Each structure stands twice: as C-alpha cells, then as structure tokens.
Copies of this chain bind each other. A is one copy, B any other.
Amino acid sequence: MWVPPEVLVTVDLVILTLRKTDLQVLLVERGVEPYRGARALPGGFLNNAGEGIAEAAVRELREEADLDGAQLHLEQLGTYGDPGRDPRGRVISVAYLAIAPELPEPVAGTDAAGAGWEPIEEILSGRLNLAFDHLQIVTDGVERARGKLEHSALATAFCDATFSIAELQHVYEAVWGVELDPRNFYRKVQKVPGFIESAGGERKATNGRPARLFKAGPTAVLHPPLVRPDTTTEGQ
C-alpha cells in the first residue's frame, strides 16, 4: 500500500533592517555542510514534531539574531519546496519575513560561524552569492516589504519606538529606492488616520530645527494608502 513521503522542514528568516541609508539583510556563514562556508539566510530545522512553524521562526529569530519575535513584525513569506533545492534530500523551507529597527552587529549563532548584515543590492545584483535558493527568497522578501509599505504601517517597524517624520521618510526612500518630497510626505503621512501619533518629545539634531517625535499608531492598514511613485515612465 502506498504511503505518503516524509519530508524535512526548515524555517528560514529574511530579516530586514535599515543601516546608514540602505536596506540590509542578515546573513550567516554556514558552518556545516552542505554549502559550508557560503552565505545563507538564518534558519534551521523544526525542533521536534510538537513545534509549530511560526513558533520555530520565533525560536530561530532568538537563536540566530538575538531578536525578540514578540516585539517585531514577523510574517510568513512563502514555502519553497522544489525537489533538489537541498542536496540532503527532500527538504522544504517555510520562509518568514522579519523587520527590525537598526541594530548593532549581530551575535554569531549556533549553526553560524559568522553573521552580519549585507546590503540588499549586493545580493540582488548577483555580486554576493547565497546558498540554496536563498536568492529567490530574499528577492521575494524585499518585494513583499516594498508592497506592504504602501498599504500597511510596516514602515514603523523599521524605526525605534519614537521617530521623526524625516526618519520615517528615510525608510520609504531606502526600501523603495526613490526620493520623496519631504513637504508632501509630511502632510500625506499625517493625514492617514491612526498611522502615526505624537509622542510628545523632540529630537535635537546637530543643527537645524528640532523634529517632533512620533510613535506608531493603532492602524495596521493604511486608508488611504501611500502610493509608490511610478518609476516606469508610463503613458508614453
């Protein structure tokens, strides 16, 4: 009688953050075969048969990046299961997308000989190669983040608990890779009900007028959305 094949399940994390004006992703250097020495997304196998998938994602987030999943935006990105994607056999990977505010250099984790942030552009351009199908996963993760900035309050997840509107604008500019008008952005972002609310303080800059501080509001879905400007010289 036929029985269904058993497979191994890994959880991989696309952890995005903003460092000095560009979008970066956390990578580890693999300490074990296969792809030993290559750069890869942090992640690992399900711990045991009783562990949920999202649960495993939170655990890996803590083990490999020392981040607290409860504090962060964490969502399922997709599942990658082409036969042959992993030389160890039939392994499918459930990828999660995590967004973090700017952080210091990460800690080397259990499976990782080394870990560090790398600019998205290094990976998408092909200058930096990744193990397995992790290039595809990173590509999907960045595209997901770009889209979600328009319709959700995801951008605040890149910021600290309080932030200036200019800082929020930098998030949009870095993730989208465009320049925005500060004055129109200021008005627009304040008009969306529940997106951001005043935190009361001010931030002293090196020079110039101090900026008011804001915090994330209660709204997760933006009405109206913040539309990404057309890069595709359409119409003509």
A interface residues (Cβ-Cβ under 8 A, vs B): 4-9, 45-53, 76, 78-79, 81-83, 89-90, 92, 94, 193, 223, 230, 232, 234-235
State the oligomeric state as a number of copies: 2
| Contact status of A6 and B7, CB under 8 A, knowing A79-B79, A234-B193 | yes
| CB-defined contacts of A6 to chain B, threshold 8 Å | 6-8
Distance A50 CA – B49 CA, assembled complex (angstroms):
23
- Cα–Cα, bound, A52→B45 (Å): 19
A45 touches B193 (CB 8 A): no
Please determine whether B4 and A90 come into contact, CB atoms closer than 8 angstroms.
no
- Measured in the bound complex, the distance between the Cα atoms of B92 and A94 in whole Å is 11
Cβ B81 vs Cβ A53 within 8 A: yes
Across the interface, which residues of B come within 8 angstroms of A234, CB to CB?
Answer: 193, 223
Residue pair B83, A52 in contact (C-beta under 8 Å) = yes
Q: Roughly how many angstroms separate A89 CA and B4 CA in the complex, as a whole number? A: 13
Shortest Cβ distance from residue A214 to the other chain B in the assembled complex, whole angstroms: 21
CB pairs A–B below 8 angstroms (26 shown): A4-B8, A4-B9, A4-B46, A5-B45, A5-B46, A5-B47, A5-B49, A6-B6, A6-B8, A7-B7, A7-B8, A7-B49, A9-B92, A49-B83, A49-B89, A52-B82, A53-B81, A53-B92, A76-B78, A76-B79, A78-B78, A78-B79, A79-B94, A92-B94, A193-B234, A223-B230
Give 7 A-B pairs besides A5-B47, A52-B83 with Cβ atoms closer than 8 angstroms.
A5-B48, A5-B49, A49-B89, A50-B83, A53-B79, A78-B78, A79-B94
Partner of A7, one of B46, B78, B223, B230: B46
Point out which of A45, A78, A79, A83 has the most chain B C-beta atoms below 10 A from its C-beta: A79
Find chain B residues with CB under 8 A from A235 CB. Answer: 193
**A7 x B5 contact (CB < 8 A):** no
A14 to nearest B CB, angstroms?
15
**B5 touching A90 by the CB < 8 A rule?**
no
Closest 8 CB pairs of A and B: A4-B45, A6-B6, A53-B81, A5-B49, A79-B79, A49-B90, A50-B83, A4-B8
A79 / chain B contacts, CB cutoff of 8 Å: 53, 76, 78-79, 94
